[in-house]
Chain A
Amino acid sequence: MSMTVIQGAFELGLIFAIMSVGIFVSFRILNIPDLTIDGSYTLGCAVSAIFAVNGKPVLGVICALLAGALAGCVTGLLQTKLKVQAILAGILTMTGLYSINLHIMGDKPNLSLFGMDTIFSYFSFLPEKLVYLVVVAAILLVVVVILYLFLKTQMGMSLRATGDNEDMVKASSINSDAMKILGLAIANSLVSLAGAIIAQYQSFSDVSGGIGMMVVGLASIIVGETLFGRRSLLIGFISVIVGAILYRFILTIAIWIGLPASDLKLLSTVLVILAIIVPVVKDAIMKRRERNA
């Protein structure tokens, strides 16, 4: 495997880490299975790409972040105020977003950004080989630090408590509905941000690019947790990031040993299932051994 391939996997891992941190917020912290992800990821790609085509790549990334937050708000409102089931609310938003994403990309299923300026063009003063790595790592770092600090504020603690014990939250005069909407907005804005960066990183946006992103995020979270366990918030973030990078390496190795790219989604699914069942099977074997001992 060449150095370029390894570095590429690392860069992609960092970008998907941003998305996985977002999914960590909804899935682990809020304890909500939010399926908006597949839609909001593509939303990020689409917004970022169309702005880049029009010569405004940075504005594109910022708008993608906001658009993602808006998508999260829609799912949140459906879930809380309109009492739609969590999973269904996500599916509805995701499906609706498919049409919206097409419209954003000018009713074309894909957009190419070849030769266009991207956010990375602004950092040409860096050594050419490091531009992507540095920019992506910097964005990830800023995102995680801000999110971590936010979750330590009073509002952030209220948000964490909402996912932990809603009864307690209501009894403590916290508006749990507002916290859920806020949490889903944050989660989807990060997912959308990752989509936005990917589009400019790969100079390409595809309307079906988001399919399976939920599983990618879950895989990252679970791979990380298998290594680190579920402990404090800080370790949680670190584990998600490491998980996302490792996951990307697993995919890269799979392609390197000759797995066709079309089988990657299947591999992702198998990986998630394995990560979930290994502890269960281990537990069962241990118990049987104890009984027979």
Chain B
Amino acid sequence: MLDLTNVSITFHKNTVNERKALDQVSLHLDSGDFVTVIGSNGAGKSTLLNAISGSYEIDKGKIVLDDKDLSYLKEFKRAKYIGRLFQDPLKGTAPNMTIEENLGLAYSRGRRRGLSMGIKKADEKLFREKLSQLGLGLEDRMKTKVGLLSGGQRQALTLMMATIVTPSLLLLDEHTAALDPKTAAQVMNITDEIVKENNITTMMITHNIENALEYGNKTIVMSQGKIVLELSGERRKNMTMEQLMELYSNTAHETFSDKMLL
């Protein structure tokens, strides 16, 4: 369960470039919710995810995940509970370390990393099993440096790493945007499978309106640092791509004309 209450972030405060990246955002997600987040560039989607993960410090407000107050907790401490994928497939893995070493690191998420061996024999079997689920043949390349893999393979591996210890929350920031269409679809399918199988609360930013409706059980639309529309249930089920596009451009237009009036 995730609760955001009046979360605000302002960039370049007290300068001419002052911009409210997040403006009093409140959001409630139940356990197991899979929310897709859409909105134009600069709407605050990534900032929202970065605020939750702790990459950006929030100015005001409260972030509570499963009864733990994360609002001002350091990024690496929040990472105990939060799995994350970035748009850039290179960001989620250590290129000069092998596949099994990367998984080994991810597998110790949230635990104290002491002086026991990084990869134990028993882990290896689990890693192999998990990797074979991806269907990319990575299970036979456990000793390969991750830097030698393709973008799609690295992103699939990152997904595995983010979920190998089931997180309380999974944040996906356009994680298929940099992949070719076929690979993107493949990674998206694996994502959906893993999320469903483990019932992980998930937020996914996407620019693909089709994906936004196809996956998950909720959709939110952001504009100018605010959540301007929340869709779920019947209304979302009956929504077509065209309608959502229209709604989306309407809300965007409204805020635009507001600004014109001012």
Residues of A bordering B, CB below 8 Å: 150, 152-158, 160-161, 164-165, 167-176
Point out the residues of chain A lying under 8 angstroms from B38, CB to CB: none
* Nearest CB on A from B54, distance (A): 8
* Among B53, B78, B105, contact of A157 (Cβ-Cβ < 8 Å): B105
* Nearest CB on B from A225, distance (A): 14
**B116:A153 contact, CB within 8 angstroms:** yes
**A164:B96 contact, CB within 8 angstroms:** yes
CA gap between A246 and B80 in the complex, in Å? 46
Q: Which 7 A-B pairs have the closest CB atoms?
A: A173-B79, A164-B94, A154-B113, A157-B118, A161-B94, A165-B94, A173-B80
Q: Chain B: how many interface residues by the 8 Å CB criterion?
A: 35
Residues 110-149 of B, flagged 1 when their CB comes within 8 A of A and 0 if not, give 1001111110000000000000000000000000000000
**B94:A152 contact, CB within 8 angstroms:** no
- A-B pairs with beta carbons under 8 Å apart, 24 shown: A153-B115, A153-B116, A154-B105, A154-B117, A155-B113, A155-B114, A157-B113, A161-B97, A164-B95, A165-B95, A167-B86, A168-B91, A169-B94, A170-B55, A170-B75, A170-B76, A170-B79, A171-B92, A172-B105, A172-B161, A173-B76, A173-B77, A173-B78, A173-B109
Point out the residues of chain B lying under 8 angstroms from A156, CB to CB: 118
**A168:B94 contact, CB within 8 angstroms:** yes
Q: Is B84 an interface residue (CB 8 A)?
A: yes
CA gap between A174 and B161 in the complex, in Å? 14
CA gap between A228 and B149 in the complex, in Å? 23
Beta-carbon contacts under 8 Å, B240-262 to A: none
Residues of B bordering A, CB below 8 Å: 53, 55, 75-80, 83-84, 86, 90-97, 101-102, 104-106, 108-110, 113-118, 161-162
Closest to A160 in B: B97
CA gap between A275 and B108 in the complex, in Å? 40
On whether A161 and B105 interact (CB within 8 A), knowing A170-B76, A172-B79, the answer reads yes
**B91:A154 contact, CB within 8 angstroms:** no
CA gap between A172 and B104 in the complex, in Å? 11
**B113:A174 contact, CB within 8 angstroms:** yes
CA gap between A169 and B79 in the complex, in Å? 10
Number of A-B contacts (CB under 8 A): 85
**B106:A172 contact, CB within 8 angstroms:** yes
Point out the residues of chain A lying under 8 angstroms from B109, CB to CB: 172-173
Point out the residues of chain A lying under 8 angstroms from B117, CB to CB: 152-154
* Nearest CB on A from B71, distance (A): 18
**A154:B108 contact, CB within 8 angstroms:** yes
CA gap between A81 and B83 in the complex, in Å? 25
Given A155-B114, A173-B79, A176-B76; 15 other pairs, CB 8 A cutoff: A152-B117, A153-B113, A154-B117, A154-B118, A155-B115, A157-B101, A165-B91, A165-B94, A169-B76, A169-B94, A170-B55, A171-B84, A172-B106, A173-B77, A173-B109
CA gap between A154 and B104 in the complex, in Å? 8
CA gap between A264 and B109 in the complex, in Å? 49
* Nearest CB on A from B216, distance (A): 22
CA gap between A152 and B79 in the complex, in Å? 22
Closest to A155 in B: B113
**B91:A175 contact, CB within 8 angstroms:** no
Closest to A31 in B: B96
CA gap between A129 and B116 in the complex, in Å? 41
CA gap between A152 and B120 in the complex, in Å? 11
CA gap between A203 and B83 in the complex, in Å? 56
CA gap between A153 and B120 in the complex, in Å? 10
CA gap between A168 and B108 in the complex, in Å? 14
**A158:B115 contact, CB within 8 angstroms:** no
On whether A150 and B115 interact (CB within 8 A), knowing A164-B96, A170-B75, the answer reads yes
Q: Which of A152, A168, A171, A174 has the most CB of B within 10 A?
A: A171
Point out the residues of chain B lying under 8 angstroms from A152, CB to CB: 117-118
On whether A174 and B92 interact (CB within 8 A), knowing A154-B108, A156-B118, A157-B101, the answer reads no
Closest to B55 in A: A170
CA gap between A87 and B101 in the complex, in Å? 30
Point out the residues of chain A lying under 8 angstroms from B78, CB to CB: 173
Q: Which of A157, A168, A174 has the most CB of B within 10 A?
A: A168
Closest to B77 in A: A173
Closest to B106 in A: A172
* Nearest CB on A from B123, distance (A): 11
* Among B84, B110, B118, contact of A153 (Cβ-Cβ < 8 Å): B118
**A174:B76 contact, CB within 8 angstroms:** yes
Closest to A158 in B: B113
Closest to A177 in B: B76
* Nearest CB on A from B159, distance (A): 12
* Among A150, A154, A165, contact of B93 (Cβ-Cβ < 8 Å): A165
